[in-house]
Every structure is written in C-alpha cells, then in structure tokens.
Amino acid sequence: GYGNEPTNWMAGPSAVINTRPTVLITGPTNNATLGANQPITITASAADTDGFVQRVEFLADDLKVGQAVIPPFSLTWSNTSVGTHKLVARAVDNQLGATDSAAVYVNVLNYPPSVAIVTPTNGASYTLPASIVLEAAASDSDGTVAQVDFYATGIYVGSAYAPPFRFNWTSATAGTYLLVATATDALGARTVSDPVSFTVRTLPVVTNPVIAYAVNAGTIGSSAYNGGLGMDFDVMTNILVTRLGVF
C-alpha cells in the first residue's frame, strides 16, 4: 500500500552518542615511595567534551576508597599498609559514561626509627653503689617509637616506653661497659644506636686505718703545722679522720 511511499516515511529520533570523559592521575607519581601511616593525597585531572564530569572515584587495589565531585579532584587516603599499591581514578560524566585512568603504583615503606644515647656520655665513670641513668633520644619519621631497650655489653638491662626514654640501672657491678640502645617503632622496625663506653668502680677498701684524730660531735678545732700552715674544722657528728692533707 501507500505505506511504502517515501513521502509517508517518518524519521525516528537520532541516536545520541556520549563521548566519555578523560581522566589522569596527577599525584602521586608512578613508583613513588611513601612512608607508612602517612596520609597520601591522590589528585586527578578530568574533563568531558560534551557535558561535565559528575564525579571522580578513587580506587586503591581495585577497591573504592572515596570520591570527589568538584575540581580539583583529590582525596586523602589514610591508614595505608606497607607494600605496593595500585591507584586508579575513575571519571563519571553527567550521562554516566565512565573512564578509568592509567594505573599509578606507589610503594609504602616503614622507615626505621632513629636513636642516640644521651646518658651516660662516652668515657663516664661511676662509683658503687650507683644508680646509673640510661637515657636515649628516639624518634620515628612515619609513626611512633613503641619502646627503647638498653643493653650493657650485650646484656639486656631495661626498657623505656615513652619519652624521655629513660631507665635507672641500679644493679650494675664493677667493670667497663659498652652500652647500646635499640629503638622499635609501632610496626616492628628496629634501629641500634652507636655504642657508649663507661666504667663502674668500687671504693678502695681501707685496711687497718690509722686514726689521726678522734673528734667529738660539736667540736670546733684546729691543728697547727710546724711549717707555719694550719687547718680548721667544724664537726657536726662523730667521725674518724684517717688522713689529713696539708697543701
């Protein structure tokens, strides 16, 4: 019938072709090395030629970790674990067309802490009985220091768990010691300090002392020396003076 006449043909609606958006991760750079526990800022550049970018989604290891809806498109990714991670930005336009960016890989490392002995100083000397203060300065650039352990000539003597990292060592015996401190961060990385050497001595034992003076408490006295020198003393308690020097 006339239905096949060209004059009776009706044109249908034309197909609308949506051009998908473009997207590129601008930060961090590919193969960047970052510290553990440090927030990572992911930024992306996105555009759409026949509409607008509705949102940019950010994926880490193929899992969505967040999105941005206005430029500049960025996200702060926290609580990153140690290892290599794959980052992708997905741009979605106003007609729901989507494009994934090229992947960017980042390496998250746990940097070890730093530690140095504050006291004793190298070459220090102590006389028994002694309470020896062991102290170290420790810090961690990408986290926290969990503890500092002290070792005297390879023997563990004590630990400190918060700054100032200090331990009072009261059980030392006479000898020369090589002290090191080890700092351990919250993720288990350890650093050993440079060693410090110090000496612990005993008081000399006086056998058969010669009593030069026996002075009662409260006595104020003096003694002349035939060379023309003298000495004065004020004694508050009973003591034995075993040696007097005149200079």
pLDDT-based confidence at residue 231 (cuts at 50, 70, 90): low
Per-residue model confidence as pLDDT tens digits over 92-128: 999 999 999 999 999 999 999 999 999 999 999 999 9
Residue 96's region, left for phi above 0, alpha for psi from -120 to 50, else beta, is left
* Nearest partner of 82 among 216, 187, 7, judged by Cα: 187
* Nearest partner of 143 among 111, 107, 115, judged by Cα: 111
Strand partners, 165: 136
Helix extents (H) in 24-181: none
For the cut 80, the answer to whether the pLDDT of residue 200 exceeds it is yes
Of the two residues 196 and 14, the one the predictor is more confident about is 196
Cα–Cα dist 219/81, whole Å: 75
Mean of pLDDT values over 154-160: 98
pLDDT for position 13:
58
- Dihedral, 51, 55, 60, 63 alpha carbons, nearest 10: -100
For the cut 80, the answer to whether the pLDDT of residue 228 exceeds it is no
- Helix, strand, coil content of the chain in percent (nearest 5): 0, 55, 45
5-23 per-residue burial string, b: 16 or more CB within 10 A, e: under 16: eeeeeeeeeeeeeeebbeb
Rounded to two decimals, the pTM is 0.67
pLDDT for position 221:
60
pLDDT for position 222:
61
Per-residue model confidence as pLDDT tens digits over 172-187: 999 999 999 999 999 9
Contact between 212 and 231 (Cβ < 8 Å): no
Cα–Cα dist 26/83, whole Å: 21
For the cut 90, the answer to whether the pLDDT of residue 1 exceeds it is no
Task: At 81, list the tokens.
Answer: 């674990």
Contact between 17 and 60 (Cβ < 8 Å): no
For the cut 70, the answer to whether the pLDDT of residue 43 exceeds it is yes
Per-residue model confidence as pLDDT tens digits over 21-36: 999 999 999 999 999 9
pLDDT for position 214:
62
Task: At 65, list the tokens.
Answer: 């970790």
Exposed/middle/buried for residue 118 (C-beta within 10 Å: 0-12, 13-18, 19+): middle
The chain-wide mean pLDDT, for the chain, equals: 88
Contact between 212 and 155 (Cβ < 8 Å): no
Cα–Cα dist 204/163, whole Å: 37
For the cut 70, the answer to whether the pLDDT of residue 69 exceeds it is yes
